[in-house]
Amino acid sequence: MNRCMWGNKNELLKQYHDLEWGVPILDTQSLFECFALEIFQAGLNWVTVLKRREAFRNVFAQFDPQILSLFTDYDISQILTDATIIRNERKIKAVVQNAQVVANLPMNFSDYIWQFVDFEPIRNSQVVLDDSQSRTCLTNRIASQMKADGFIFVGPKMINAFLQAAGLINDHEVSCFRYHNLAVQ
């Protein structure tokens, strides 16, 4: 079975690739979890984050933005003592602040994010592979708008990874079995 090259590195990545990565996420809470985990992934290996996902869910109220938006400095200080997660204060504060932004959006987080791609996943074959300019324009536009709306830790590189993981962009290799599965959904 052909899959994206990165999805063959180990069993955890294979399972993540085959079952989750690139599958469109429409549920706000699940989408916010994906978004938060991408913040933690910045500068780290994705396996490091995946191994701690359950611990992250536990300390971040299952990534419910409404609950997370009420977290205080005390809650953050408690999270920083939990050795089961990645204890990066900037990233932890970013997740909480971003939950506060989500809680105050005039629409749900899913609609907010999906509006950037007109509520339709982009297939990587729709973007000419040597024309990274279109992708860069999209990720820059989204990152700029999110920053203007109060989100933090949202650079173009992180946004690109988030769009791929959350299925807004089907970035599976065209030879990958998931590319074709997701293209017909």
Q: At 120, phi and psi to the nearest 5?
A: -140, 125
**Per annotation, catalytic residue among 21, 33, 46, 114:** 46
17 annotated as a binding-site residue: yes
According to the annotation, is 4 in a ligand binding site?
yes
Active site residue 20: no
For the four alpha carbons of 70, 71, 73 and 75, in that order, the dihedral sign comes to positive
DSSP class of residue 62?
G
Q: Are 33 and 110 in contact (CB under 8 A)?
A: no
Q: Is 34 annotated as a binding residue?
A: no
Residue 179 bears catalytic tag: no
Q: Has 172 been labeled as part of a binding site?
A: yes
Q: Which of 6, 11, 33, 38 is catalytic?
A: 38
Count Cβ atoms within 10 A of the Cβ of residue 148 and give its class: 0-12 exposed, 13-18 middle, 19 or more buried: exposed
Residues with Cβ within 8 Å of residue 2, at least 6 apart in sequence: 173, 175, 176, 177
- Reply yes or no on whether 38 is catalytic: yes
Question: Which residues have a catalytic role annotated?
Answer: 16, 38, 46
Task: List residues forming the annotated binding site for Zn(2+).
Answer: 4, 17, 172, 176
Task: List residues forming the annotated binding site.
Answer: 4, 17, 172, 176
